Amino acid sequence: MTNVLPYTSQSALNDVLQQPARGLPVPRGDLSAAVVNALRTSPATRTALPHPGNADPFGDDLQLALHLCYELHYQSFPSVDPAWEWDPDLLRFRAAMEQPFLDALRGTVIGGSDVQREFRALLSPPADDSGIAGYLLTGGDYEQLREFFVHRSIYHHKEGDPHAWVIPRLQGQEKASLVAVEFDEFGGGHGDRIHARLYVNLMAAAGLRTEYLYYLDAVPAPMLAIVNMMSLFGLHREYRGALVGHLAAAEITSSPGARRMIAALEKLGAAPECVSFYAEHVEADAVHEQVMRHDVVANLLAREPELAESVVLGIQATTLLEDRFSEHTLDSWRAGRSSLRQPVTS
C-alpha cells in the first residue's frame, strides 16, 4: 500500500504561499498548492493529493493545478524531478481535475454534430468589433496592450506545441495537411521564424520579460483555461477530433483578428516587432484556414464521421473560452483595474 502524507490544511497551504519553490508559481488554493508541494519533492515521497471536490472548474485553483500537471509534458520547471511526468498518482489526480473541466465545457456549449454550421458562424463574425482589439483601437492605452501581451504569452510561448500531439493520431491527407500547418507554425524550418520565437521578439520590443512562462503568476484562470483545453485535447487520443476542431477555429478567426490587432498596435504606437508578429498571422493563417477546413477536417470526417460531435466540441469550447477571456479582460479594463493578478513588470 502506498504511504501518503496528507496535504489539505490551510497552514500547509500558507507554507507554500510564503515559500514558493524555485521556478514554480505561487499556489492559488488547495489543489494547486498540493501540486506545488508534490513537485518540490521526489515521487518516492508519494505526497497525498486531495480530491477536487466542488472546486470551480473554471477557477484559478483548479486551472493552475491542471496547468502545472500539463507543463510536465512540455518544458517543465527547474529542479522538478522528471519522474513526475508519468507518476501514476499525479496522473490520477490530473484525471480527477480534467473531468469537472470537461463536464463544465460540455454543459456550457450547445453541442451537436453540424460542423459546417460552426464554420459558417466563425466565418461570419459580428459587424461591430466589441472585442479586445476593438477596445484597444477605440479607447485602450499602451499599458493595457502590454497586459494583453502578458496574457497571450502563456499561449504563444508554446504555440503549435499542443497540436503536434494529434499528428500520430491522424492518417492520410488530414495528417499531411495538418503537418503543413504545423510546419509554418514552427518557422518553415527556420528557427528564427518559429511563431513562439516571434512572440519573444514582440515581448522584448514591448519592454516585457521574455523567459518561458515568466508571467505565469500574473495570468488568471481565463487564459490558463484556453491553454489547458488544448493540452487536454492533445494528450487524449479520444479527443483528437476536438483538438482538430479547436485548431480549425483558431485558424479561421486568427487572420481577421490579427488585422484588427495591427490597427490597434499602429494606433498605440507599438514597435515594428509587435506589428510583425500579427502581420505573420494575417498572411499565414489566411491559408491555414482553408487547409484546416477543406483538407484536415473534411478528410478526417470522411474517414471517421463519428468524430463530428468531437470536432464541434473543440470549436464551441474554443469560442466559449476565448469569449470568457475577452469578457474578463474587458470587464477589468472598463472598471479601471488591471486584468492581471499582479502588475506587469518589465
- According to DSSP, the residues that pair with 5 across neighbouring strands are 47
Q: Which of 74, 100, 73, 97 is nearest to 87 (CA)?
A: 73
Rounded to whole angstroms, how far apart are CA atoms 113 and 116? 9
Topology of domain 113-334 in CATH is: Heme Oxygenase; Chain A (1.20.910)
Rg (CA), the chain: 20
Is pTM beyond 0.95? Reply is no
Burial pattern 301-321, b for ≥16 Cβ within 10 A else e, equals: beebeebbbbbbbbbbbbbbb
Residue 112, pLDDT above cutoff 80 = yes
For the chain, give every residue range classified as CATH 1.20.910.10.
Answer: 113-334
pLDDT tens for 146-179 read 999 999 999 999 999 999 999 999 999 999 999 9
pLDDT tens for 5-14 read 233 344 433 4
